[in-house]
Amino acid sequence: RKEVEQDPGPFNVPEGATVAFNCTYSNSASQSFFWYRQDCRKEPKLLMSVYSSGNEDGRFTAQLNRASQYISLLIRDSKLSDSATYLCVVNRWGDYKLSFGAGTTVTVRA
Amino acid sequence: GAGVSQSPSNKVTEKGKDVELRCDPISGHTALYWYRQSLGQGLEFLIYFQGNSAPDKSGLPSDRFSAERTGGSVSTLTIQRTQQEDSAVYLCASSDRTSGINEQFFGPGTRLTVL
């Protein structure tokens, strides 16, 4: 079983819609969680860290459910520029290795 | 401030040749990582440097791959006798591990094509 699993999508949504997707992780010792976005043929860029209580950054909301070992990302009022692959990343406290999911592709259409 | 830089951005080489890829991390970041991403695949960890400690080379796929980091800053990833399966995007990342939160920042990558 992969350490981090994501629904590959694609999620095709119209502009202005809300889209949400999850990521599950297998290692209960995981302590730090991140969402990165990766545009086609570009490097991954940190979108947001995910905190225990959940956190929001503008139109993006991340939630963490430790009991069920999943992380979610919700995008409100989708923009065309939100079209990208979203990578779920987990890390054990003090461990330098990040474990990356294969990504969820989101396409926002006009 | 300046982010992670990598060079070259693209490299086309012939099978059997050696290549060197360079990474310049964010100033002050003590940790440096190399990853590989093949087309449509997730990121594959290759090697990790932290300060002056011995690097973790556990992700290197074969002994044709090596990396060094001089003076705790710039790193070079070398692939000897390149094979077609080495074709991928090689990404470098750096982080400031003093906070305990391992947020890694990536460079633009080197796209390697082995003919």
The predicted structure's pLDDT at residue B98: 67
Determine whether the interchain pair B100/A45 forms a contact, defined as Cβ–Cβ distance below 8 Å: no
Q: Which of A58, A55, A52, A46 is nearest to A84 (CA)?
A: A46
For residues A75 and A13, what is the distance between their CA atoms, to the nearest angstrom?
A: 11
Q: Transcribe B64-101 into DSSP letters.
A: TEEEEESTTS-EEEEE-S--GGG-EEEEEEEE-GGGS-
Task: Kindly state the average pLDDT of the residues B65-87.
Answer: 94
Nearest CB to B103; choose among A41, A46, A100: A46
Determine whether the interchain pair B42/A87 forms a contact, defined as Cβ–Cβ distance below 8 Å: yes
Closest chain B C-alpha to A15 CA, distance in angstroms: 25
The predicted structure's pLDDT at residue B49: 92
For residues B76 and B92, what is the distance between their CA atoms, to the nearest angstrom?
A: 10
Task: Kindly state the average pLDDT of the residues B51-78.
Answer: 91
For residues B50 and B30, what is the distance between their CA atoms, to the nearest angstrom?
A: 6
| Per-residue pLDDT of chain A in tens (110 residues, 90 and over written 9) | 788 999 888 999 999 999 999 999 998 887 889 999 999 989 999 999 998 878 999 999 999 999 999 999 999 999 999 999 999 999 877 677 888 999 999 999 99
pLDDT at B87 over 90: yes
Q: Transcribe A26-86 into DSSP letters.
A: --TTEEEEEEEEE-TTS-EEEEEEE-TT-EEETTEEEEEETTTTEEEEEE-S--GGG-EEE
Task: Kindly state the average pLDDT of the residues B66-90.
Answer: 94
In this predicted model, which residue has the larger pLDDT, A40 or B81?
Answer: B81
User: How many angstroms separate the Cα of A81 from the Cα of each of A35, A103, B20, B81, B85?
Assistant: 16, 17, 34, 41, 33
Determine whether the interchain pair A96/B50 forms a contact, defined as Cβ–Cβ distance below 8 Å: yes
Confidence class for position B83, pLDDT limits 50, 70, 90 = very high
Report yes or no: B75 and B25 within 8 Å, Cβ to Cβ.
Answer: yes
Token pair belonging to B46: 């290759």
